[in-house]
A = this chain, B = another copy of it.
Amino acid sequence: MEQQLNSRIISRGKEFFGSISGEKPSLFNKGAWMGKVMDWSMQNEQFKIQMFRFVDVFPTLTNGRLLTDHIREYFGEEKDMPPFLSTGARVAGMFGSLGGAVLGKAISANIQEMARQFIVGENTREAVKNLEKLRREGFAAVVDVLGEATLSEKEAEEYVATYLELLESLQKEQEKWDGLAGKGGDRRLDWGHAPKVNIAVKPTALFCLANPQDFEGSVAAIMARMERILLKTMELGGFLCIDMESYRHKEIILEVYRRLRLKHRDYPHLGIVLQAYLKDNDKDLAELLAWGRKNGVQLSVRLVKGAYWDYETVKAMQNDWEIPVWTIKAESDAAFERQARMILENHDICHFACASHNIRTISSVLETARELGVPEDRYEFQVLYGMAEPVRKGILKVAGRVRLYCPYGDMVPGMGYLVRRLLENTANESFLRQSFAEDAQVERLLEDPQMTAERERSTRDGKPKRERPGVGGLPPFENMTMVDFTRADHRAAFPKAIAEVRGRLGRTYPLHIGGTEIITKDVIPTVNPAKPSEVLGQICQAGISEVEQAIAAAKAAFPAWRDTAPEKRAEYLMKAAEIARRRIFELSAWQVLEIGKQWDQAYADVAEAIDFLEYYAREMIRYGKPQRVGHAPGELNHYFYEPKGLAAIIAPWNFPLAISMGMASAAIVTGNPVVFKPSAITGIIGHQLAEIFGEAGLPAGVFNFTPGRGSVMGDYLVDHPDISLIAFTGSMEVGLRIVERAARVHQGQPNVKKIIAEMGGKNAVIIDDDADLDEAVPHVLYSAFGFQGQKCSACSRLIVLDAVYDRFMERLLAMARATTVGPAEDPAHYMGAVADDKAMKSILEYIEIGSKEGKVLYMSPTPEGEGYWVPMTIIGDIRPEHRLAQEEVFGPVLAVMRAKDFDQAIEWANSTRFALTGGIFSRSPEHIARARRDFRVGNLYINRNNTGALVERQPFGGARMSGVGTKAGGPDYLLHFMDPRVFTENTMRRGFAPVEADDDWVI
């Protein structure tokens, strides 16, 4: 930054501070309850977490018991609470149980008071009244309607309606309002140039399925509703600003803005929000300005720093995406100044709203505008209602025009907004906190953020990085990066890969035995389940003689493979992972066509296959190192593992690459040669294992590809005496059959067979009475109907507590109605076709059964014509004893049960033969702890979907009739494929024993 300008900014800033000296935002007033909350939160991270979480759940605590229970669960007994929380209650405590109620009422009142600080009203009438009050104080407003997450078309419509109602009210009201003072004299405008009505709209509130995967669909749907609000706004000459939300929707929102901008090119008052904390924002802003100039349209940008820093960082790290936001606060501040300048330089085509509470930022904009000679009607200042009162007062003094961002609406969504504000104010880097709660040096607060950023970056870079230890010289395991549909290249890759794959249909896929391809006479075609007439390929089928050959090949390969060093075996897996990564879009495309996976699900399956390869490779290196047991001198005891023998891998079609690859690679890397039988309906995907392992150079006979008819060769393979290990994933019926048959030890059999069986599930999700429905509804829908519910982990029972049943179900059903069923290759569809004809018939039968046992609440339309279509089905009034509550349907059928309380919900959840996955949505610490112990499933998920377990992070598998207690992708998994051995050497000879470094020794 130019030195002179920076000096002027600093002088301006000092003046600004001087002008508000001694004033404090109400938020930091320690005399008030809210100020105490802020104070404690800043001093005590644990209290802050509990407090903010409590604020979040607070609106659902609609009765005294819920309220007092949660207060205890979040803050402990009264004696453990901060004094300001418990005051009053302590006194009241003397009157027995009345104490809790009194405490609850006091806290409740205080939180509501706190919320009102930031919210301009609970309804349109209140809001309008308050806006008028603010205008009398000299403040303009931008009005935002708070809402729960939009989960349905109905909710989107209600949202639109609220805006239209608001505009209607304001239309009448604005006539009565004098324009705020300013240069111009037009009474109809504020400050002589600005519409008196100014609203902000969140785009994702207009379409519940907004999703970058379905980019075009999302843009179109949002645009349609946004335009209705815009038209009404235009009618009254108002200003509409399109809010920016999370990074995920950024490209969609920009596109909506551009399209609306072009379509209504002559109406000037249409703006968009850009977020300075996004690393993309320099480029996005430059492109937008260039686009505006090229198209000759007027733009308006409200520049903010961004309010979802935690969320964006966490999401990116969870998915292994590049973090989209600046990770040093000052970097965002610097970006803001840089980008503000860019807008001001383009003030001829772009109006600017500077939305910041940071006095350095504001001073910088003031001085930059002055330097560039920007007319006052081309920029304005915005501040959040209820925050930073001294700052808004200061700006009013110096610039004469401040617009307050005024949300209004219900308590429930209001709490989310409140938590964001509390977070902002209590963050260590918060300008307000530093300025008003900590009295930081003015110099430091006004420093050029570019310099601050550079200093902090160099401090950070100088610190030693915490690195997790890897094994065998490899970096530590990381999950494969998730597909990122915010990236245009990822979006484009799918149609392209699908088209390419379509160019290769109709081939014949051979067996691979002992390194040789074998073509059989018997073949089975595989087809596109959304269009069965589309034959994808012909899969050769192994008979008994081919199975014998494969076993012979595996047996021949065994001794050398067993004695191959673990690190070397792991290397083949790493190579295979590399190959799969290279082919990931192509492999995903095959899944879209052969088994009807949605794009993201297809990609996730391939990614999981890669994860298994990478994870098991490392696990084998870890287990491959003999472990010294005991430390007595004079003896060495090494505990180590060796493979069990020949492995039969019998794979399902639902995770056709991931589960196949997981089971096969675990067997291979532990030293067990494999005879692999894929599912008949995903033969091409099964063949991909042969391709990948072949290219990786696995020695002949270590992996043998033998698809075959179960009736012909299934039992034969299971019974074969040379097989020592069977890894199976599939239905309970087949699994138990294998367990029983394989237990018979036949003549000449070397080992008792080890069975790793992953079987079915009848997985329940519990909706607690304090659940966050905004989260619960879409997660349940996804858990139940993602990939047509054809996951052993899928939610197939939904247990909703009576207290929230009506509200939750209403929203769930509404969201379900918003979805469509159709070919998976079109990302607009939420659900595709089911696996095959047999699956379709079986699921339809269950729907028939369910419709008799309970009441069909929803059954979606399905496409006309060919394809294995089953409606998305939700059946209510199901009781634990119903077949629909007990039997695995393995399709898009959700059985809904209404439980009277949490105890009953847990009891029902545990009431099946299965124990695979489960979920609860709850914000009660006690209920979460209780579920952790008592909801006895292999994988329990709290407040998220219960599918999509990731390797390492969610080792997957269940007990009871869901499996034999193994956990794929977990730290114990490889143990099941090996036998431990112990080598004991007496190292003492002639009374002389060498001392080992880790001996227990006398000195």
Verify if A144 is at the interface (C-beta below 8 Å from B): no
> Which residues of B have CB within 8 Å of A978?
965
Complex contact B752–A953 (CB within 8 A): no
| Chain B residue with Cβ nearest A980 | B967
8 A-B pairs whose Cβ atoms sit less than 8 Å apart in the complex: A53-B992, A310-B992, A314-B633, A314-B988, A419-B990, A772-B989, A949-B982, A972-B980
Complex contact B745–A739 (CB within 8 A): yes
Complex contact A52–B985 (CB within 8 A): no
Verify if A82 is at the interface (C-beta below 8 Å from B): no
> Which residues of B have CB within 8 Å of A940?
981-984
Q: How far is the CB of A153 from chain B (nearest CB, A)?
A: 25
> Which residues of B have CB within 8 Å of A419?
989-992
Complex contact A750–B960 (CB within 8 A): yes
Q: How far is the CB of A328 from chain B (nearest CB, A)?
A: 8
Q: A938-B982, A988-B314 are in contact. Are A327 and B970 (CB under 8 A)?
A: no
Complex contact A327–B1002 (CB within 8 A): yes
Q: How far is the CB of A790 from chain B (nearest CB, A)?
A: 21
Complex contact A1002–B313 (CB within 8 A): yes
> Which residues of B have CB within 8 Å of A939?
981-982, 984
Verify if A751 is at the interface (C-beta below 8 Å from B): yes
Verify if A736 is at the interface (C-beta below 8 Å from B): yes
9 A-B pairs with the lowest CB-CB distances in the bound complex, closest first: A630-B953, A743-B743, A311-B991, A965-B979, A314-B634, A944-B986, A942-B985, A959-B979, A419-B990
Verify if A474 is at the interface (C-beta below 8 Å from B): no
Q: A313-B1002, A989-B772 are in contact. Are A634 and B942 (CB under 8 A)?
A: no
Query: 8 Å CB contacts to B: which residues of A949-975?
Result: 949-950, 952-961, 964-965, 967, 970-972, 975
Q: How far is the CB of A943 from chain B (nearest CB, A)?
A: 5
Please measure, in the bound complex, the distance between the C-alpha atom of A648 and the C-alpha atom of B993, giving whole angstroms.
Answer: 44
> Which residues of B have CB within 8 Å of A87?
none
Q: How far is the CB of A833 from chain B (nearest CB, A)?
A: 30
A310, A420, A981, A1003 — most chain B CB neighbours (10 Å):
A981
| Chain B residue with Cβ nearest A934 | B563
Verify if A637 is at the interface (C-beta below 8 Å from B): yes
A→B interface (CB under 8 Å): 45, 49, 52-53, 56, 308, 310-311, 313-315, 317-318, 323, 327, 415-416, 419-420, 423, 460, 468, 563, 627, 629-635, 637-639, 642, 644, 736, 739-740, 742-745, 750-752, 754, 757, 772, 913, 923, 928, 932-933, 936-944, 949-950, 952-961, 964-965, 967, 970-972, 975, 978-986, 988-994, 1000-1003
Q: How far is the CB of A924 from chain B (nearest CB, A)?
A: 13
> Which residues of B have CB within 8 Å of A751?
959-961
> Which residues of B have CB within 8 Å of A965?
644, 754, 978-980
Complex contact B928–A985 (CB within 8 A): yes
Please measure, in the bound complex, the distance between the C-alpha atom of A972 and the C-alpha atom of B640, giving whole angstroms.
Answer: 11
> Which residues of B have CB within 8 Å of A937?
981
Q: A960-B750, A1002-B327 are in contact. Are A983 and B913 (CB under 8 A)?
A: no
Besides A419-B991, A938-B979, A959-B979, 8 other A-B contacts (C-beta < 8 A): A45-B994, A49-B994, A310-B992, A311-B991, A419-B992, A423-B991, A938-B981, A958-B979
Q: How far is the CB of A557 from chain B (nearest CB, A)?
A: 17
Complex contact B563–A933 (CB within 8 A): yes
Q: How far is the CB of A646 from chain B (nearest CB, A)?
A: 13
Complex contact B637–A943 (CB within 8 A): no
| Chain B residue with Cβ nearest A52 | B992
> Which residues of B have CB within 8 Å of A923?
989
> Which residues of B have CB within 8 Å of A981?
936-940
> Which residues of B have CB within 8 Å of A1003?
327, 460
Q: Report which of B314, B630, B754 forms a contact with A964, defined as CB distance below 8 A.
A: B754
Complex contact A310–B630 (CB within 8 A): no
Please measure, in the bound complex, the distance between the C-alpha atom of A371 and the C-alpha atom of B604, giving whole angstroms.
Answer: 92
Complex contact B990–A953 (CB within 8 A): no
Complex contact B990–A52 (CB within 8 A): yes
Please measure, in the bound complex, the distance between the C-alpha atom of A987 and the C-alpha atom of B487, giving whole angstroms.
Answer: 27
Please measure, in the bound complex, the distance between the C-alpha atom of A908 and the C-alpha atom of B779, giving whole angstroms.
Answer: 61
Q: How far is the CB of A980 from chain B (nearest CB, A)?
A: 5
Complex contact A990–B56 (CB within 8 A): yes
A415, A634, A744 — most chain B CB neighbours (10 Å):
A634
Q: How far is the CB of A147 from chain B (nearest CB, A)?
A: 14
A563, A923, A928, A955 — most chain B CB neighbours (10 Å):
A955
> Which residues of B have CB within 8 Å of A960?
750-751
Q: Report which of B635, B736, B967, B983 forms a contact with A745, defined as CB distance below 8 A.
A: B736
Q: A327-B1002, A970-B980, A990-B52 are in contact. Are A953 and B736 (CB under 8 A)?
A: no
> Which residues of B have CB within 8 Å of A460?
1003
Q: How far is the CB of A619 from chain B (nearest CB, A)?
A: 12
Please measure, in the bound complex, the distance between the C-alpha atom of A992 and the C-alpha atom of B50, giving whole angstroms.
Answer: 11
Please measure, in the bound complex, the distance between the C-alpha atom of A104 and the C-alpha atom of B26, giving whole angstroms.
Answer: 94
Complex contact A310–B993 (CB within 8 A): yes
